[in-house]
Amino acid sequence: MPVALLMLSAIPLLAGAFRVVQLMGGPELIPADDRFAGFPLPLLVHVVGACLFLVVGAFQFVPRFRRHHPGWHRRAGRVLAVAGLLVAGSALWMTLLYAAKPGTGSLLYVLRLVFASAMAMCLVLGITAIRRRDVVGHRAWMIRAYAIGLAAGTQAFTGGFGEALFGKGALEGDLAMGSAWFINLAVAEWLIRRQDGHGRRSRSVRASHNAVPAGASS
Ligand code: HEM
C-alpha cells in the first residue's frame, strides 16, 4: 500500500521539488512560471506541506505499523494534520491569488476551491472524530482527506490521457484534471466500505466464538 501511494505521489512531488529549486535560483529543470516568482511563499508552503502529507501519510495506512507503533501513529498524525491543512489552505490561497495558468478554465478554478475546502473539512472531521474516540469515523475522514490530496498524482495520468483523447481545450483539460478527485474519492469510499465490512465480519466472528452455546452452562 505505501509503495503504491508513494509511486502515485512521485510525479507531483518531483515537480514541486524542481519548482522550489528553480524559485531558489537553481537550474530550470521545468519551464519557468513567472506567476510564482513575485510571491512564491504560498507555493513553497504548498510543496513542503504536500511532501510531508503524502510521504508520512502513506505509512499511516499500514495496519501492522499502526498496531506496533501507536505512539508514532499519533505523533505523525499531528504533523500530518498540520501539513494537510497547510496544503489545503495554500491551495485556496494560490487559487485566489495567482492568475490562472494559461489553458485552464473556470471549472478547474471552482473545483480547486471546492476540493481544497473539502480536504480541510475532512481533516477537521477526522481530528474531531479521534478526539471522541471514534476510530471508524477517524479512519474514514482521513482516507478521504488523503484521497483528495493524492489527486495531484492521479491528475498526472488523467491530464495526460485527457489530452491524448480529447485534445487541448480548457474545458477538456479542466474535466480531465477534475476527474482525478472523483476517481480518488470513489476508490476511498470503496476502501472505507470494504474495511467497515471486514471490521463488522471479524467482530461478529469474535462474538460467535465467545458466545456460550445454549445448554452449555453448568
Ligand atoms: C497533497 C498533494 C499535492 C501535491 C503534491 C501538489 C503539488 C503541487 C505542485 C508541485 C504545484 C506547482 C505546480 C507548478 O509548479 O506549476 C501545485 C500547485 C497548485 N496546487 Fe497542488 N498539490 C497537492 C494538492 C493540492 C490540492 C488538494 C489542491 C486543491 C484542491 C491543490 C491546488 C493547487 C493549486 C491551485 C496550485 C497552483 C496552480 C497554478 O496556479 O498553476 N493542490 N501543487
pLDDT digits (tens, 9 = 90+) for 56-113: 999 998 888 888 888 889 999 999 999 999 999 999 999 999 999 999 999 999 999 9
Q: Where are the alpha helices (DSSP H) in 61-169?
A: 63-68, 70-97, 106-131, 135-166
Distance 112 CA to ligand 1 centre (A): 9
User: According to the model, what pLDDT value does residue 218 have?
Assistant: 33
Nearest CA to ligand 1 atom 27: 149
* Grid coordinates of 217: 452452562
What DSSP line would sit under 65-85, residue for residue? HHHH-HHHHHHHHHHHHHHHH
pLDDT digits (tens, 9 = 90+) for 81-95: 999 999 999 999 999
- Distance (Å, rounded) from C-alpha 103 to C-alpha 78? 37
- For Cα atoms 131, 134, 136, give the angle at the middle one, nearest 5 degrees: 135
Distance 91 CA to ligand 1 centre (A): 6
* Grid coordinates of 103: 489553458
Ligand 1 pocket, 58 CB below 6 A? no
Model pTM score: 0.90
Nearest CA to ligand 1 atom 30: 116
Ligand 1 pocket, 178 CB below 6 A? no
One-letter identity of residue 149: G
- Distance (Å, rounded) from C-alpha 10 to C-alpha 4? 10
pLDDT band at 195 (very low <50, low <70, confident <90, very high): confident
CB atoms within 10 A of CB 212: 7
Beta-carbon contacts of 80 under 8 Å, excluding residues fewer than 6 positions away, are 52, 53, 56, 57, 60
Domain ranges of the chain: 2-195
pLDDT digits (tens, 9 = 90+) for 170-181: 999 999 999 999
pLDDT digits (tens, 9 = 90+) for 147-161: 999 999 999 999 999
Q: Report the pLDDT averaged over residues 11-22.
A: 96
> 167 exposed, middle or buried (CB, 10 Å; 0-12, 13-18, 19+)?
exposed
Q: What dihedral do alpha carbons 80, 127, 89, 42 form, nearest 10°?
A: -20
Alpha-carbon Rg of the chain, whole angstroms?
21
